[in-house]
Amino acid sequence: MSLPYVIESLLTIRRASSGGSLVHQGGSQTVINQLPPYTQIVLNVFPFGNDYFDIIYSSYIDPSVVPGVFFGYGQYFGSRTYDGVITSGFMTYTLESLVFISESEPAQALIRNDTPLYQYYAGAVFYVAIATEEDFNIVLEYLKGVGNKETNRLLDLLVAQQPVGAT
């Protein structure tokens, strides 16, 4: 899977002090071995540990999930990245998005089993993590400096989604 340009760009930012990466990449999997019939659950997704801010840039539903048995949606602050029955299309393609999560603004995912049978669910998201508010501000400055269409779009979204209390 190739990374979206703007995410790849963030991964090139280096710390002035050590030369190490400022932004770190990761993946996270969620598995529900048995979701009972006609049951829905809501999951809240936060950055792990003390991370300041995460950007989820893609996700997928595992092809082992039976198509058409789940209804679901994923959302953060003002956007729903998908909303509907999880058909085979969701298992064929990686879904690209820009979902911003922080401790004060978690994302939510709703998964509902719409069948009379227990069902297996598995999915994953891929993200980049920004450890501190100071690092977040360095990312903003970097994006201002690059100034192309993709980075300007991300910059606008990040400024709008900056956690409350950040400068």
87, 132 Cβ separation under 8 angstroms: no
**Where along the sequence are the contacts to other proteins (CB under 8 A)?**
26-49, 51, 54, 75, 77-80, 108, 110, 112, 124-125, 127, 129, 156, 159-162, 164
Measured from the CB of residue 64, what is the shortest distance to other proteins in angstroms? 14
In 3D space, the residue among 86, 80, 94 whose CA is nearest the CA of residue 120 turns out to be 86
42/89 with CB nearer other proteins: 42
Q: In 10 A of CB 47, how many CB atoms?
A: 17
79/91 with CB nearer other proteins: 79
Instruction: Please give the single-letter amino acid code of residue 65.
Output: V
Measured from the CB of residue 17, what is the shortest distance to other proteins in angstroms? 23
16/108 with CB nearer other proteins: 108
Q: What are phi and psi of 137, to 5 degrees?
A: -65, -35
Measured from the CB of residue 68, what is the shortest distance to other proteins in angstroms? 19
- Ramachandran region, residue 149 (left: φ > 0; alpha: ψ -120 to 50; beta: rest): alpha
Measured from the CB of residue 73, what is the shortest distance to other proteins in angstroms? 8
Q: Which residue has the tokens 């192309």?
A: 148
21/30 with CB nearer other proteins: 30
